[in-house]
Amino acid sequence: MTRVLWLTEHYPPSKGGMAESCDRIVRGLRGSGAEVDVAHLTRRNRPWRTEHEHGGLLLTAPLGEDPEHALRRLLTAPTVQDRAYTHIVAFGGIYALLAGPVLASLLDAPLITLLRGNDIDTGVFSVRRRAVLADALRASARICVVARSHIPLVRALAPDATVEFVANSVDTAQWQVLPSERERAAAWRAAHVEPGRRTLGLIGQLKSKKGVGFLLDALRATGRADRFHLVLVGELEDGVLAALDSPYTALPFRERYDLPPVYAACDLVALPSFYDGMPNVALEAAALGVPLLASDAGGLGDVADDRIGFTFRAGDAHGCRAALDRAARATDGELAALGAAAAARVAKDFTPAAETAGYRAVLAATAR
């Protein structure tokens, strides 16, 4: 039987895309018959405890003020010592990557390292994280990435590494816009958006790598700022709102299942990232039939092209301006066709079944 010890700093009740992805992958593996014990290296002030979940255990290990103590104490937990694990998985984050090689060696199980965007994009240039990252990569029987463009970055630190691309997914059977949500979106547009303007959504943790300022500069340079109403949802850096020339609506961060009315109110969703993993926002928007205005950064290059939106090379200001201009001139019919193609692509190529099968194949290939 496949029995996995899964190390992560990102798992519910933690919030954000990393926790959502981790939960989705673990549920998929458990549903496929693997037993997965999750060691949640949480930064929250929570008690140590072990709980039974469907398909495995949840070990809550608060890092607190002394992460080294937390990791050493995890090793002494009876459940970790007594269960015969076939694999150790490190799901991103510095402490999971730090603990992974040690636990894999002591528990005599192959290490699988799952890298998210920032783990490798900035980790290779981080004075604090690079050595930990390099050690984990060299110790790994397999390394899984969510963007094909991350494979050369991995091999820059671990030339002999075996790297697998396994895409993120979205369950389109559960991820839909309800009629009431679509009505709310239409009512909001009627009240807030001038006729003839395109709504352009920027959604999520809108930090430096996401290229928000870059997009706003490009929009200003096109002279078409009057064609768009921006919908900004999430955490914004200081000064972003002051730099806006277009009408806008700014909303606080929202949980995933509060977002369908927001997506339904958008003509396009923008992801102008300089670098990235495979953002959940890209798959969520596309699955709901919203065209993407996106760079080819990271996993965006594996999801988006001009058949489902308006794309450009990451960091290419001229290309971004051209994409914005094409989006501004697109007809309602053209946007609808792009959105339908986006939904069809996600439903075909980015399914939970395919994601789970990818990770099961990795576990099978590394089993002793």
Q: What is the pLDDT of residues 190-225, one digit of tens each?
A: 999 999 999 999 998 787 789 999 999 999 999 888
Beta-bridged to residue 88, according to DSSP, are 5, 111
Share of the chain above pLDDT 70, in %: 100
Is residue 100 over pLDDT 90? yes
Q: How far apart are the C-alpha atoms of 271 and 294, rounded to whole Å?
A: 5
Mean of per-residue pLDDT scores for the chain? 94
Is residue 92 over pLDDT 90? no
Instruction: Using CA atoms of 252, 253, 255, 259 in order, give the dihedral in degrees to the nearest 10.
Output: 70
Q: Which two tokens stand for residue 6?
A: 């899964």
Is residue 80 over pLDDT 90? no
Is residue 249 over pLDDT 80? yes
Instruction: Using CA atoms of 109, 114, 118, 121 in order, give the dihedral in degrees to the nearest 10.
Output: 90
Q: How many CB atoms lie within 10 A of CB 60?
A: 18
Instruction: Tell me what the mean pLDDT of segment 262-278 comes to.
Output: 97
CA–chain centroid gap for 250, Å, is 22
Is residue 103 over pLDDT 90? yes
Q: How far apart are the C-alpha atoms of 151 and 162, rounded to whole Å?
A: 9
Instruction: Tell me what the mean pLDDT of segment 249-261 comes to.
Output: 91
Contact (Cβ atoms closer than 8 angstroms) between residue 11 and residue 40: yes
pLDDT in tens, 147-169: 999 999 999 999 999 999 999 99
Is residue 136 over pLDDT 90? yes
Domains in the chain (CATH in brackets) are 3-169+351-366 (3.40.50.2000), 179-349 (3.40.50.2000)
Q: Which helix (H) or strand (E) holds 349?
A: helix 332-349
Could you tell me where the DSSP H helices lie in 140-271? Answer: 151-157, 179-192, 212-222, 260-264
Q: How far apart are the C-alpha atoms of 279 and 269, rounded to whole Å?
A: 12
> Which residue type is seen at 171?
D
Is residue 237 over pLDDT 80? no
What's the confidence (pLDDT) of residue 245? 78
What's the confidence (pLDDT) of residue 298? 95
pTM here is 0.94
> Which residue type is seen at 289?
G
What's the confidence (pLDDT) of residue 334? 98
Instruction: Tell me what the mean pLDDT of segment 41-59 comes to.
Output: 93
What's the confidence (pLDDT) of residue 206? 81
Q: How far apart are the C-alpha atoms of 340 and 325, rounded to whole Å?
A: 21
